[in-house]
Amino acid sequence: MTGTGPHPGGEPARSGAEAGGRAAGAAAGGGEGETPFRSGFVALIGRPNVGKSTLLNQLIGRKIAIMSDKPQTTRTRILGVLNRPGAQLIFVDTPGIHKPQHLLGQHMVRIARRTLQEVEVICWLVEASDREPGPGDRYIAEQLAEVATPKILVVNKIDQVAPGEVSAIAERFRQLGAFVAVHCISALQGVGVPELVAAIEGLLPEGPRFFPEDMITDQPEAQIMAELIREQILHLTREEVPHAVAVQIERVERRPNGVVYVPATIYVEREGQKRILIGERGRMLKEIGRRARMEMEALLGSKIYLDLWVKVKPDWRNKQGALSNFGCRD
Ligand SMILES: Nc1nc2c(ncn2[C@@H]2O[C@H](COP(=O)(O)OP(=O)(O)OP(=O)(O)O)[C@@H](O)[C@H]2O)c(=O)[nH]1
Ligand SMILES: [Mg+2]
C-alpha cells in the first residue's frame, strides 16, 4: 500500500474539490524549458459491477471506494488522486449506469452521466467475462457517442477468461464506438493497469496540480467510515436488504485514552429488514460491526469503538431529503 491517509489529521476533505473545479488548484510546477506539468479529470464509467471502484482502488493503492459483488454498490461520485512525477491524474469513480427504479437510482445515473461532461478523459469499463456487449453496454455506448471527450475502452476482468479469448472479446466491444485506445486489464490483480495509466497520462492537457500531494480523495473520513459499514452489509446480506441500507455516522469522538468512539445509524426501509440486520440475538449486527471496525481501524490507525444502531425510515430511497442527509450529493 502506498500514499498517505485520505486527509491527514482526520480533517474533512478540503472544499472546492469537485470534479471540474478548475479554480481549486494551485499553480503548476515546472520551470522554463522543462516538460510541462499535465493534469486532468478521468471518468470511470460503466454498468454496475464491472469493476470501476476496484480499478479506482488499484490505481490509488488504497481502498477509498467500497466494492462488492452486488450491483449498484457506489452511490455517489468519488475522487481518487494519483500523483505521478510530471502529472496529476484525478480519477472520478461513478455509480454504475442502469435503469433506475427509484429516486436514489435516478440520482446515481444522473451523477454518472453528468461526469461525462466534466472530464478530460473517459474510461469506459466493460466486463470481459460477459464475452459480448449486452443492452446495458449498448445504452452506454449511445451516451458516449454524444460526447467528444477522448474515450478509452477498458476491458476488465480478463483473469476470468482464457488468454486466447481476450482480443476477440475486446474487438466486439470496440465496434460500439470510437476509442483512442483499448486496454485489457484485471483491476483485481493490477494486470495492465500501469499501461492504462501511461495511456491516460499521454492524453492529459497541460495543467496545474489541482490537489495537494498528500490528498488522495475528496471523501471525508466519516463518509468513508459509513461506506465501510455499508460494504460489510453488502457482503453479509442478500436480496433487497443491501440496497435498502443507508449509513450515517453520528459523530467521531476522539477520547483521551486514544480510542475513537463512533456512533453510527444504519437506516433500512422496513421492520423486516431491521430484523435481518440485527439477526438472531444481535449476531448479524455484531458481525457487521466487528468487520467494519477492523477496516476502520486500519484506515485511521487507531482503536475504534463502533456503536451501531438500526432504524427504519420507510421508503427513504424515494425521498429527496433523506438522500441529501445520507450524503447522496448531486
Ligand atoms: N475476477 C475479477 N473480479 C473483479 C475484477 N474487478 C472487479 N471485480 C469484482 O467485481 C465485483 C464488482 O466490483 P466493483 O468494483 O464494486 O464494481 P463497480 O463497477 O464499482 O460496481 P458499482 O459500484 O455497483 O457500479 C467485485 O466483486 C469485484 O471483486 C477483476 O479484474 N477480476
Ligand atoms: Mg463502484
Q: For 275-299, what is each residue's pLDDT tens digit?
A: 999 999 999 999 999 999 999 999 8
Which set of grid coordinates corresponds to residue 180? 483512442
- Whole-number pLDDT of residue 28: 43
Q: Point out which residues pair with 78 in neighbouring strands.
A: 93
User: Which of these, 13, 18, 220, lies nearest to 119 by C-alpha position?
Assistant: 18
Q: What is the pTM of this model?
A: 0.90
What integer best gives the mean pLDDT of the chain?
A: 90
For residue 35, name the pLDDT band (cuts at 50, 70, 90). Answer: confident
pLDDT recorded at residue 47: 97
Vertex 62: Cα angle to 2 and 257 (nearest 5): 90
What digits encode the pLDDT tens for the residues 129-178? 999 999 999 999 999 999 999 999 999 999 999 999 999 999 999 999 99
Question: 271 CA to middle of ligand 1, Å?
Answer: 30
Which ligand 1 atom lies nearest to the CA of residue 187? 31
Q: Kind and range of the H or E element at 183? A: strand 181-184
Ligand 1 atom with least separation from CA of 96: 25
Pairwise CA distance, residues 63 & 227, whole Å: 11
In 3-state terms, what secondary structure has residue 80? Answer: strand
Q: Which residues surround ligand 2, an ion (CB under 5 A)?
A: 52-53, 73-74
Q: Using alpha carbons only, how large is the chain's radius of gyration in Å?
A: 20
Ligand 1 centroid to Cα of residue 64, in Å, is 14
pLDDT at position 227 over 60? yes
When pLDDT is cut at 50, 70 and 90, the band that residue 30 belongs to is very low
pLDDT tens-digit readout, 236-248: 999 999 999 999 9
Pairing outcome for strands 246-249 and 253-254: unpaired
Written out in words, the top-level CATH class of the domain with range 221-325 is alpha beta
- The model's confidence at residue 324, banded by pLDDT at 50, 70 and 90, is confident
Instruction: Please give the CATH number for the structural domain made up of 35-203.
Output: 3.40.50.300
Residues with CB under 6 Å of ligand 1 are 46, 48-54, 67-69, 71-74, 95-96, 156-157, 159-160, 186-188
Closest CA to 26 of 215, 219, 207: 207
The answer to whether 47 and 96 are in contact (CB under 8 A) is yes
Cα–Cα distance, 52 to 241 (Å, whole number): 22
Asked if 268 contacts 229 with a C-beta cutoff of 8 angstroms, the reply is no
Strand partners, 162: none
Domain spans, the chain:
35-203, 221-325
Name the residue of 54, 77, 124 to mutate for ligand 1: max ligand atoms within 8 A of Cβ. Answer: 54
**Residue 48 burial by CB count (10 A; 0-12/13-18/19+): exposed, middle or buried?**
middle
Q: Extract the C-alpha cell encoding 57.
A: 482502488
